[in-house]
Amino acid sequence: MVNWNRIVEQLKSWFFWHRTPVMEKQIFNSMLFIIAIYLVAMGILNVFLNQPGLTLISFFTLVPLACVYYLVRIKNRYRLSLYLFGGLSYPLIAANFFLNDGILGPTSYIFILMNVVLISIAPLKMISGWTAVNIVFFVVLYYIGTYHSDWIPSNYISENYLFIDHILTYIGSLLGITLLLTTIKQYYHFQKSEAEFKRNELALLNRDLNNLNQQKDKIIAIIVHDLKNPLNSILQTLELIDQAGDLTPEELNFIHSELLKNTKRTYLMMENILEWSSFELNNTQNRVRQIDLKGLLKDTLDIMASIAAQKQLTLHVNFNGNPEVHGETDRVLLIARNLIQNAIKFSNQGGSIWLEVSSDDGQIIISVKDNGIGISEHKLNDLFQLEIKPTYGTANEKGTGMGLHICYQNAMKLGGTLEVRSKGGVGSTFTLRFPDNLEETPKTLS
């Protein structure tokens, strides 16, 4: 069975050369295809008009036309093809003039069509040259036809054939010009749609790049925020050893043991943060785990307790049962670390911090409470908004100002909420709620 759709698509591909970025080449390709169809039609017509000379010219011209098409489309020899096309066209038009009753025949229509074709496909600097060639041929031929009409044989057997030839040649020339202009418009719209597609693609790429840059900035802030306090704790311990002078072997062993534990915990926490950061930047699935919250938070709480002790703060931890969580647990750790560090940062020496973990009807609840300096009422409304500027704790600890925004964003990624209750001079309570099954959480930190 004949697949007409495939045949139509193949003909379209021959006519419209969409792979070329040069409009003139596209028009040249299309016009060669159109002229070939025109020559075949005129050849058949001349058979019925009993014009054997014109019939031979029509079909003979198809051979060099096919060569020109091959040079343009296959060999990409555009300039050579143009010279060959123009060089053959006008001698053939002259032959048509003599065989088609001179100025009585329809050759003038073909002159107009040929000039429109050539100025459409020729480079700008060649247009005047091809137009001059057209004028010279036209003037010379019509001079001969006017003043030496006896040189031109009379081939029309009746006025009817003359009328039919004029009408069909005019229609063919008009259709050729129409198709040429249609090709130009089609090429313009094709290029416009291509440019629009590329512009949209570039806009999406820029948006993704901006999102990636923002994500990178947030992750860097997280790394700085989460590692700064543990490293400061280790540094202070080393400075204490240096300033304490002579210490007993028992004191040295104790400090060495605590320092080693804190360093190992900090190193493990750093590995965890860097691995999570890699997942976020590469937009890949985070680690999905089934783990109890005591096991998940143990190392983090040990580090936070050590940091709190150096500021003479007490960290109270209460697990109501031992809830289990299934999913991307790195976000839970991230929020817990940030909330506890925030509580340490804004608590005065001698204060207390309470961490309470519980579950209720498929929801995990993590609450971090302190009796620190609290938050003024006018700041509560915009507390979770992104505002990158330095913040300072009660011991002049410097922060980035991004911690609570990052906590809030990740709480939403967990499909949960982050709430705050606070009063200036009294303290703050942050409560994180999220489902205990986190498999469907999004991948990226926005």
Query: The CATH number of the domain where 320 resides is what?
Result: 3.30.565.10
Q: Judge if 227 and 102 occupy the same domain.
A: no
Q: Judge if 123 and 224 occupy the same domain.
A: no
Q: Judge if 314 and 429 occupy the same domain.
A: yes
Q: Judge if 323 and 426 occupy the same domain.
A: yes
Per the CB < 8 A criterion, the answer to whether 262 and 237 are in contact is yes
Q: Could you tell me if residue 313 is inside a domain?
A: yes
Domain that holds residue 72: 4-157
Q: Judge if 263 and 142 occupy the same domain.
A: no
Q: Which residue has the tokens 């299934």?
A: 326
Query: What pLDDT is stored for residue 444 in this prediction?
Result: 43
Q: Which residue has the tokens 């705050």?
A: 420
Query: What pLDDT is stored for residue 358 in this prediction?
Result: 92
Q: Judge if 82 and 148 occupy the same domain.
A: yes
Q: Judge if 22 and 142 occupy the same domain.
A: yes
Per the CB < 8 A criterion, the answer to whether 376 and 424 are in contact is yes
Q: Could you tell me if residue 55 is inside a domain?
A: yes
Q: Judge if 152 and 223 occupy the same domain.
A: no
Alpha helices in 148-248 (DSSP H): 159-244
Helix-then-strand count for the chain, H and E: 12, 10
Smallest Cα–Cα separation from 42: which of 61, 66, 22? 61
CA angle (289 as vertex; 288, 293 as ends), nearest 5: 130
Q: Judge if 275 and 406 occupy the same domain.
A: yes
Tens digits of pLDDT across the chain (446 residues): 567 777 767 666 666 665 666 777 777 877 788 788 878 887 887 787 777 877 888 888 889 888 988 888 888 888 898 999 999 889 989 988 998 889 999 999 999 988 998 888 888 899 999 999 999 999 999 999 999 999 998 877 788 888 888 898 898 888 888 878 887 787 788 778 888 888 888 888 888 777 767 767 666 666 666 676 677 777 777 777 777 667 777 777 777 777 777 777 676 667 666 656 665 666 555 566 788 889 889 888 988 888 888 889 999 999 998 888 887 787 888 889 889 988 988 899 889 999 999 988 888 999 999 999 988 887 887 788 766 566 677 877 766 566 787 788 888 888 899 999 998 888 999 999 999 876 544 444 44
First to last CA, the chain: 56
C-alpha 204/C-alpha 197 separation (Å) is 11
Using alpha carbons, list the distances in angstroms from residue 6 to 12, 34, 90, 112, 265.
10, 20, 36, 35, 68
Q: Judge if 285 and 423 occupy the same domain.
A: yes
Q: Could you tell me if residue 144 is inside a domain?
A: yes
Query: Of the residues 157, 185, 201, which one is the last residue of a structural domain?
Result: 157
Q: Judge if 138 and 231 occupy the same domain.
A: no
Q: Could you tell me if residue 197 is inside a domain?
A: no
Q: Could you tell me if residue 164 is inside a domain?
A: no
C-alpha 124/C-alpha 129 separation (Å) is 10
Query: What pLDDT is stored for residue 446 in this prediction?
Result: 44
Q: Judge if 102 and 233 occupy the same domain.
A: no
Radius of gyration of the chain, Cα coordinates, nearest whole angstrom: 42
Structural domain total, the chain: 2
C-alpha 140/C-alpha 426 separation (Å) is 106
Q: Could you tell me if residue 193 is inside a domain?
A: no
3 state SS of 424: coil
Q: Could you tell me if residue 178 is inside a domain?
A: no
Which two three-digit tokens encode residue 444?
A: 């990226």
**pTM, entire model:** 0.46
Q: Could you tell me if residue 83 is inside a domain?
A: yes
C-alpha 392/C-alpha 401 separation (Å) is 9
Query: Of the residues 140, 157, 174, which one is the last residue of a structural domain?
Result: 157
